[in-house]
Amino acid sequence: MWFGDLTTMVWWNDLWLKESFADFLSAAAINEFVYKEDASFSDTKTLWRNFLSAGLAADMKPTTHPISVEIKDTGEAVSMFDSISYRKGASWIKTLDYFIGRTALSLACKKYVQRYSYKNASLDQFVECLEEATAESKLSNQIDVKQFTDDWLKTKGPSQLECSIQ
């Protein structure tokens, strides 16, 4: 409960972040503690595939919307909490976990909590911590975290790839 309790978002437009972390961490805990302890469960790829597909399915509908948007008042905030906000936001964290690595993601979270405990913070401040941790972590891939975040969270619909054969 470090998002929202220990560190509170500045305004409603970043409130989805604490909910996305709750979804991501619950799936990560199931993956780490249930699937790895009990061989009767299917492989962990099934867990993450189901996790990611729920957000993608909602994001492909005509009602899709960006996750990170300006919220004018609490009425607008309520309308923004849906499976896109929860699952696509959590999928952003899961994808970061894969690309930058658990070590860098954990370091970013540690920096964020230490820096903003008992204060208000924003998505941009969390991204700054991600960028710092990615640069410091020897195990992480170097990606443009800010651009990745903007592409994933500030646009509606799933990312599209274009391929040409020459």
As assigned by CATH, the class of the 8-153 domain is mainly alpha
* Segment 1-51, tens digit of pLDDT: 455 677 778 888 888 888 888 888 888 887 777 666 555 555 656 777 777
- On the 0-12 / 13-18 / 19+ scale of CB atoms within 10 A, 77 is middle
Residue 35 CA, chain-centre distance (Å), reads 22
| Tens digit of each residue's pLDDT (9 = 90 or more) over 70-82 | 889 888 888 777 8
Instruction: Choose from 80-94, 105-119, 147-161 the range with maximum mean pLDDT.
Output: 105-119
**pLDDT given for residue 128 in this prediction:** 95
> Above pLDDT 70, what percent of the chain?
85
pLDDT at 140: 54
d(CA 152, CA 4): 22
Question: Which comes out higher in pLDDT, residue 116 or 7?
Answer: 116
Please classify residue 165 by burial: count the beta carbons closer than 10 Å to its beta carbon, then call 0-12 exposed, 13-18 middle and 19+ buried. exposed
pLDDT in tens, 51-64: 777 777 888 888 88
Coil, strand or helix: which one is 121? strand
Q: How many CA atoms lie within 13 A of 96 on its CB side?
A: 33
Q: pLDDT value at position 38?
A: 54
DSSP 8-state code for residue 73: S
Average pLDDT, the chain: 81
pLDDT of the residue at 105: 92
d(Cα 120, Cα 117) in Å, to the nearest integer? 8
Gap between the Cα atoms of 81 and 131, Å rounded = 27
In this prediction the pTM is 0.82
CB atoms within 10 A of CB 153: 20
- Using the predicted structure, report yes or no on whether residue 123 has a pLDDT greater than 60: yes
Domain definitions of the chain by residue range: 8-153
- Count Cβ atoms within 10 A of the Cβ of residue 140 and give its class: 0-12 exposed, 13-18 middle, 19 or more buried: buried
**Could you tell me the pLDDT band of residue 129, with boundaries at 50, 70 and 90?**
very high
